[in-house]
Amino acid sequence: MVNATRVFSSTFGRVLTAAVAVVALLALGSVVATDGLGGALLWAAPCTLVPALVWALFWNPRVEVADGGVTVVNVLRTVHVPWPAYRGVEVAWSLVVRADDEAVTAWAAPRSSGTANRTATRRRGGSVQPSEHDGAGRRWENSSAEQVARVIAERHTQLVAAGHLRPVGAPEARATAEGPRTTKRWNVAVLAAVLGLGAATAVCVILG
């Protein structure tokens, strides 16, 4: 059984990043018109830093639900919880995925407001959540903690029913030292890009 990977991120974050990028391009164009290419080179870093920060904070964070487990991409770190290490999911102020050794909070899946919940309930009758597919076969969707928690629980139930996993709580379902474990990694490329742009911006401000 191979299911499509479902990726949950903020539609607002994508729109905000695009809007900020447009404003930054307009600002850079204004610098070119006023100070020429030399001025544009001087202020290219500051005009790139702002949309890069917005992208790192609001677009890049996401939750991926796949047959191999749940991946939570936060601002600083990415955590992958394989299904054998999965122990449940809950909704607090945002989505919380529980594993053998920790609880992983998802920046990209905040809890819905009461108004949003009521609106979603009224629209749910037979409607399909807005989504888009990329070239890698992943299905991108807008995120709320409640929606992502439901999808995670449903995917786990499907894998248990198909015989690929043991139910949560079964002794044989626990991850072992040799088996899949929760993994974490720093978002090195994102952090390096933002820090590099920040340093370049500082230099531009000093020279400017």
The tens digit of pLDDT for each residue in 47-63 reads: 999 999 999 999 999 99
Which one has a higher pLDDT value, 168 or 198? 198
pLDDT for 41 equals 79
Q: Write down the domain spans for the chain.
A: 1-124+131-208
pLDDT at 80: 97
pLDDT for 174 equals 56
Q: What pLDDT is recorded for position 65?
A: 97
* Of 75-79, 128-132, 147-151, the least confident: 128-132
Mean pLDDT, residues 11-34 taken together: 92
pLDDT tens for 23-36 read 999 998 888 888 77
Which is it for strands 6-9 and 86-91: parallel, antiparallel or unpaired? unpaired
Token pair recorded at residue 25? 């391009």
pLDDT at position 184 is: 95
Give pLDDT, residue 102: 87
What's the pLDDT score for residue 208?
A: 65
For residues 37-49, average pLDDT:
84
Looking at per-residue pLDDT, the higher value among 131 and 46 belongs to: 46
pLDDT band at 13 (very low <50, low <70, confident <90, very high): very high
Give the mean model confidence (pLDDT) for residues 94-119.
79
Predicted confidence at residue 48, as pLDDT, reads: 94
Most confidently predicted of 134-138, 147-151, 171-175: 147-151
Average pLDDT of every residue of the chain: 84
